[in-house]
Every structure is written in structure tokens, then in C-alpha cells.
Chains A and B, each alone.
Chain A
């Protein structure tokens, strides 16, 4: 394992320390229990948004704390759900009385810990669960699909509504709509290495890729030989379109997300391929996002998310945001 590490046990703490110092104009890092909050008090009447999850997906979620997005983020250990006391403390810290909306990715550990945190918090609160990954089937016998990159879009769009005075109910409703209108598919070329494990999460051949990989290096649909980008992107989009079934000429946001180890150069190439393929299918791309937003440590690979955007979604996407990882309009 080659990583910038002093001591494995201090990995998260030291990284959070650096994050706090680098972005002290926007956020503050609280330790024991760990949470990142804005460095300003929540406006009276504004619903607070709190997300969180295992670390290793940076900038998600701490990088999305700030004006127009989250009020707080609770980082767990690498790839491990945060603990209920973190959510409780974050909620007590940020809630201005208008209530707290927890944004939770669909993993057993996250769901359980957020549920317990919500039970321990005495103020008004509700939760939304993201499950945009189309790689794995949803059925009555499963805990369902994984929550992945569309969580970024949910946090941005609901964050805007909350900033503009949306109620807890309205925020939840919009978040659920964004989640439902999104589909994501990921591909990995290499594994990630969890610092505590010290070795790659999975073995993969030099000429192989994992199609439908999860953001923790979990296996996806199949292992196959690597192909030209156009073929890979086409297969990814097909999986998404099968699920989302957009109308012809429906407006969409196209989000190409890096898994952490793939350069932007390649991500833009993927974006180009995706544009061409979507255009040929008569799907209109009206908004874009390209970059490393929902990562899997140093994994090489990318995910594509397509969001069907109605007027409400696009308006809230465009509104000003100022966080460590996303900034426009202010």
C-alpha cells in the first residue's frame, strides 16, 4: 500500500484536520463526535440538511457542507457508516427549529445508524434514502439498490430549496423526486485499498473491468475485458436508460463522476462519448457536472448519472452554492 499515512489509526482524524484548516472560511470540523458543519449558524426557519456515510468518498459529504447545500456531514471511518451519536450531535448543533432532513445512502449500516441517530434526536426530523444505482436489481427480497453519485445531486438540489425557505415536507418531497429521476452506473478498472486493510479490496486483471461496481469496490453485474470508451459508455448508458426510460426530448443533467483514480482528461472523454450517444437517442442534455464528487478512494473508474430535470429541479440546480467542492453563483 502506497498512501500518505502517518499512522493508520490517525488517518481520518488527520484528514479531517486538514479539511477543517483548508476550508475554515466555510466550515468547521467538530471532533468526538465527528461532524463537519457550516461555520455560521443556521438561519431561523431554515430546514437543516444532514448527510453522512463512511469516509473514502471525498469530497462527499463534507465537501458539500456550505451555503446552498448541506448544513452538516457526519463522516464514519473509511467505508463504515458513521455512528448515531454523530448524527444526534450534528442535528443538535445545526437545527434552528425548522427541523432536520437526513440524507442517507441505501446501505444497511447507514440506514441503521441514521435511524438510531434520528431516534436519539428529540427535534423534528425526517429522512430520505438515495438508491440511484441501476447496476443491481431492486426487488422485494433485497434491501434494494445502492445509493451512489446521485446523492450529490440530491444534496445540491434539496440544499437550494432549503436555503430558499422550503419546509421539511417540501424538501423531502423534492429529494425523493430527484432520487427517483436519477440513474447511475459505475465501472472500475482497478481496486481501491482501505487503509486499515492495507491491500486492495479486490483482484482485477490488467485487461479487466468490473461493470456495475459499487463505491466500496463491491462487485457489480459482471467482470469483463476492457473495451473502447464508446462501448463502455454505451453499455453504461443503456443500463441507465433501461431503468429511467426518459421521454424523447426530455431535459436531463449528465453527471460524469470519477472514482478517484481516473484523470479529468478521461472523464471529459467519457462525457463526450455520453453526449454523442444520448444525442443519437434524442435525449437533450441541458446541464452538466464532470469531476470527482463521489469517489472510492484511489479506484480507477467512473460512473455516469443521468437526471431527468423538470423546471423545479433545474431551477434549484442553478441556484448559488458555496461549498468546498462545489461553487457557483456566489
Chain B
């Protein structure tokens, strides 16, 4: 059974996750930048770093707000402060999470899964990308599918989260041998092969960080 005593989604949860993610992304910034310079245009890491900084800086403005308001403020900050594909996609993620019904009630694990699934679906719609196209969606879509399974099944939460960590890592590594068909890398054809997609790597690091912190909660 899924235990319901922990915190899975709140404004404070989001802020503390953003802080954790910021540390991990900064530690891996050079690697992500190098990946992007191989197949993209090199802006991805700066956009992700700028976005995380903006969200972390929002703490005092949003820490006492209800979840829906907090999410909307994060969405607008991300949308107006980042630019590039990352800004549009992550902005869309938070904006659609904020539209999940009943956010004023207690958020249990199942509800948190629903929110993330809604967010990832909206990103998929916005970016018109699916799995197999060498983008961050190669990591996010399988994660969303696993969350869907977890929220309706009886898997132990920690076990489920460990599986998600594994899925994200496998899918991230799997982008290495793909031909890109979306994003800047798509212009390269065969030349993009052999490089992990930078968006897939940053998304995997984000998922890894959140899951590990939930497991250790």
C-alpha cells in the first residue's frame, strides 16, 4: 500500500526540490553544455540554470500561497524568464499542473502523480514530440507512463520510484543512438548520432533528484 503520511506536492516541496535540482544541475552543467554544443546550439544549460534560479528566488513571494497560485506564479516566471524551448515546455508543465482539479485538498501520492502526468502530457502536446525523437520527451513520457501505472497499482512507492530512476536513466542513455527528428539537433541527420540529447540528460537528472529525495524522505 502507498503510505500517505509524507509530503508529495506543495509550494514548499516544489521550492525545496528546485534547490536540490539546482545543485545537481550545476554539478553537471559542463557535461550538459558539451552535449548541447555537439548537437544543439548550446543554450539549453543556461536556460535550465536561469529557470531554476528564478524559481528558487520566488521562495519568499510564494511560500505562503496555496498550491494552485504558487504553481501559476512559477509557470509565469518560467515562461517569461527563460525563453527557448525549455521555457515554453517547462512553463507549460507548471501551467497545466496548476489546472489539475482539487488542488486545495490534501495532495496524496496518487494526486501528485496525476499532476505530473497532466504536466508531461501538456508538454508533449506543446512540443509535438513523442518518444524516439531524441528529446527530453524520451525520458519524460516513459516516466509519465510509469507514474500512471504506480498511481493505480499496488506497487510499493519506494520500489516504484526506484524503477522510475532506472527508466529515466535507460531512456536518457537510449537517446544516444537515435536520429534526432525534433529540435535543433534534427537538422543534423546522422551527425547527431552518438550523442546523448542534452534535454534528456537534464530531465533525467531532475527526475533522479526528486525520486531520490522522496525515497529518503
- Do A and B come together as binding partners? yes
Within 108-163 of A, Cβ neighbours of B (below 8 Å) are at: 108-109, 112-113, 115-116, 135-137, 141-143, 145-146
B191 lies within 8 A of A80 (CB): no
Q: B79, B188, B189: which contacts A83 (Cβ < 8 A)?
A: B79
- Of the candidate stretches A175-183, A214-222, A257-265, the one touching chain B is A214-222
**Is B182 positioned at the interface, with any CB of A under 8 Å from its CB?**
yes
Q: B46, B81, B127: which contacts A112 (Cβ < 8 A)?
A: B127
Q: Which residues of chain B are within 8 angstroms of A19 by Cβ–Cβ distance?
A: none
A142 lies within 8 A of B186 (CB): yes
> What CA separation (Å) do A194 and B43 show in the bound complex?
9
A33 lies within 8 A of B181 (CB): no
- Of the candidate stretches B12-20, B64-72, B85-93, B158-166, the one touching chain A is B85-93
B80 to chain A, nearest CB (A): 4
- Of the candidate stretches B34-42, B55-63, B112-120, the one touching chain A is B34-42
B184 lies within 8 A of A81 (CB): no
B142 to chain A, nearest CB (A): 20
B87 lies within 8 A of A81 (CB): yes
Q: Which residues of chain B are within 8 angstroms of A11 by Cβ–Cβ distance?
A: none
> What CA separation (Å) do A108 and B40 show in the bound complex?
12
Within 165-192 of B, Cβ neighbours of A (below 8 Å) are at: 181-184, 186-189, 191
B79 lies within 8 A of A116 (CB): yes
Give the residue name and chain of the A residue nearest to B133 (CB): A141
Q: Which residues of chain A are within 8 angstroms of B191 by Cβ–Cβ distance?
A: 219
**How large, as a class, is the contact surface on chain B?**
20 to 34
**Is A202 positioned at the interface, with any CB of B under 8 Å from its CB?**
yes
Q: Which residues of chain A are within 8 angstroms of B187 by Cβ–Cβ distance?
A: 135-136, 142, 145-146, 214, 218-219
Q: Which residues of chain A are within 8 angstroms of B42 by Cβ–Cβ distance?
A: 79, 194, 197, 201, 216-217
**How large, as a class, is the contact surface on chain A?**
35 or more
Query: Per-residue 0/1 for B41-55: is the Cβ within 8 Å of any A Cβ (1 yes, 0 no)?
Result: 111001100000000
Q: Is the interface of A mostly helix, strand, loop or mixed?
A: loop
A108 lies within 8 A of B183 (CB): yes
Q: Which residues of chain A are within 8 angstroms of B83 by Cβ–Cβ distance?
A: 54, 76-77, 80-83, 109, 113
B191 to chain A, nearest CB (A): 6
B155 to chain A, nearest CB (A): 34
**Is A84 positioned at the interface, with any CB of B under 8 Å from its CB?**
yes
Q: Which residues of chain B are within 8 angstroms of A33 by Cβ–Cβ distance?
A: 80
**Is B33 positioned at the interface, with any CB of A under 8 Å from its CB?**
yes
> What CA separation (Å) do A78 and B88 show in the bound complex?
16
A67 to chain B, nearest CB (A): 29
Q: A107, A108, A201: which contacts B37 (Cβ < 8 A)?
A: A201
> What CA separation (Å) do A76 and B43 show in the bound complex?
12
> What CA separation (Å) do A233 and B40 show in the bound complex?
26
Query: Per-residue 0/1 for B132-156: is the Cβ within 8 Å of any A Cβ (1 yes, 0 no)?
Result: 0000000000000000000000000
Q: Which residues of chain B are within 8 angstroms of A194 by Cβ–Cβ distance?
A: 42-43
**Is A85 positioned at the interface, with any CB of B under 8 Å from its CB?**
yes
Q: Which residues of chain A are within 8 angstroms of B183 by Cβ–Cβ distance?
A: 108, 143
A216 to chain B, nearest CB (A): 4
Q: Which residues of chain B are within 8 angstroms of A107 by Cβ–Cβ distance?
A: 184
Give the residue name and chain of the B residue nearest to A85 (CB): B80
Q: Which residues of chain A are within 8 angstroms of B189 by Cβ–Cβ distance?
A: 136-137
> What CA separation (Å) do A229 and B86 show in the bound complex?
39
**Is B99 positioned at the interface, with any CB of A under 8 Å from its CB?**
no
Q: Which residues of chain B are within 8 angstroms of A113 by Cβ–Cβ distance?
A: 83-84, 87-88
A109-B88, A116-B79, A216-B184 given; name 17 further pairs at CB < 8 Å. A54-B43, A77-B84, A79-B42, A81-B87, A83-B87, A86-B80, A112-B85, A113-B84, A116-B88, A135-B187, A143-B181, A143-B182, A143-B183, A146-B187, A197-B46, A218-B184, A219-B187
Interchain Cβ contacts under 8 Å between A and B, 17 examples: A54-B83, A77-B46, A80-B47, A82-B83, A83-B80, A84-B80, A85-B76, A86-B80, A112-B127, A136-B187, A142-B182, A143-B182, A143-B186, A194-B42, A194-B43, A197-B46, A214-B187
